[in-house]
Amino acid sequence: MHTTPAVSDTLLAIALDMTASLSSEDRSRRLVDAVVRALPADAVVLLRLDGDDLVPLAAHGVSSDVFGRRFPRSEHPRLDILCRASEPTLFPADSGLPDPYDGLVTDAPHLEVHSCLGCALRVEGSLVGVLTADALAPGAFDAVDRGFLVHLAALAAAAVRTSDLIEALERHAKTKGLIARELVRDVLDRRGGVLLGTSPAMATLRRELELVAGTDLPVLVTGETGVGKELVVRTLHAQSRRAGEPLIYVNCAALPESIVESELFGHVKGAFTGALEARPGKFRVADGASLFLDEIGELPLHVQPKLLRALQEGEVQPVGSDHTARVDVRLFAATNRDLEAEVRAGRFRADLLHRLDVCRIRVPALREHPEDIALLAGHFADRARRRLGSGPIRLAADARELLSAGAWRGNVRELENALSRGILRALGRTTSGDSVIVRGADLDASSESAPHVPPPSSAAPELAALPLREAVVAFQRSHVERALAAQRGNWAAAARALGMHRSNLHHLAKRLGMR
């Protein structure tokens, strides 16, 4: 064909855009702009094939609501013809086939007699989309060189495929990053954002995390239920060299024994009944990243040798395969079980424990740092305020005392849940926008951990029947009450009788809920 400068410039512009660092949206828009410059068209639309529908990517000369529409091939015969054709198609100006853009072209409320052409966009024989052009003047495209349209369609198809691939990669990368960040953000938020606490126990824990996080060694996190083992693992990952990669999570206790091996190490197609396709397994998904095996003490004994090999040699063998695959995975594991006892009972391999136990981090129970309860309660109350959209949430003195005196066998998780229930009860009697005051009576007295401190007017309890912390609180309150009664309510005289400074007695009384 005879190529004019305008035609050459159009093809060159499309080819250059294919190699440029553009978003898929910009790439599609530039392609349409190039076609508008090369053809006498009033409307040009680039569509991508999505199943049996054609979806507009970029357009010129049509109303913007075209982008909210899908064009099923079965409902639009012109588009279906274009999809089936092997060459560009020019429809007769008086064709009786309905035009998909009737009522959408900016300068024409209805498309009756007009020029219409289009071409299927194929890559290696596969249909990826359609390019259409419409002109209000009949015969507008009669002089357009068919060879130019063939070259245009080939470049446009390649551009669409390139944009699709780039968009898919961007979407995948963005999703991975978002998942990694959101998982960390969600759990950090649910458990306090950071490891809250100013106690010596929490300071020691932070120092251990800083020491271990920067290595690639496996870490075994132990501790009771509800202490925040998952938060510790995610904090370790966020501070590690692999922080930019996802942390793949597996709850070993939730995996049926029949599929745990496949879930961790993958399987080949046909390895067992129901294995209709190959599966990579979590170790290969986490290649180059980190893997978190929660509740590792629940891992079946027959799977443990393969886990040991993955840790020692960096090799995994999918179920049904004769070949191994190399993986680079940093492993975090957590358990509330006594793994040494599990080894003695024959339920956990000693060699696997030794391999896991390179860096052990024990998360302290809440009863080991009760001085952090008030800080945690304040944080949870403020977070509840943001979630509920309420006014400020405050804890009355008796509520603070009850929380501090609790046993909290479920640790931080139980503390948060109990406080949340109390906040909801307090919210029920509060006018919208007012401060929410959580009182001791709002806290869940049915909980095993909830203390039962008698009111000041009640008789002194049998202290020996109470947990130590409750007994101390009850003794202090009754002792102060007796001193006040002896001094006829004179706080200064009561402080002297108790051998205390008056300000210290006032602070103690506030803590005991007496002021």
d(CA 331, CA 341): 22
- CA separation for the pair 85, 462 (Å, rounded): 93
- CATH for 191-364 is 3.40.50.300
- As annotated, the residues of the chain forming the CATH 3.40.50.300 domain(s) are 191-364
Least confident of 16-20, 50-54, 60-64, 286-290: 16-20
* Residue limits of CATH 1.10.10 in the chain: 455-515
CATH topology of domain 5-168: Beta-Lactamase (3.30.450)
- Read off the pLDDT of each residue in 10-34 and give the average, rounded to a whole number: 68
Q: State the span(s) of the chain assigned CATH 1.10.8.60.
A: 367-451
The Cα 393–Cα 391 span in angstroms is 6
Relative orientation angle of helices 397-405 and 468-486, to the nearest 10 degrees = 140
pLDDT at 275 over 90: no
Pairing mode, strands 315-316 and 290-294: unpaired
Q: Where are the alpha helices (DSSP H) in 191-286?
A: 200-213, 229-238, 260-265, 282-285
Strand partners, 135: 115
The fold of the 367-451 domain, in CATH, is Helicase, Ruva Protein; domain 3 (1.10.8)
Any idea which architecture 455-515 has in CATH? Orthogonal Bundle (1.10)
CATH 3.30.450.40 residue ranges for the chain: 5-168
pTM given for the model? 0.52
CA 430 to CA 424: how far, in whole Å? 10
Q: pLDDT (tens digit, 9 = 90+) per residue, 342-353?
A: 999 999 999 999
pLDDT value, residue 210: 92
Higher-confidence residue: 12 or 482? 482
Neighbours of 258 (CB within 10 A): 9
pLDDT tens-digit readout, 373-416? 988 888 888 888 878 878 788 888 888 888 888 889 899 999 99
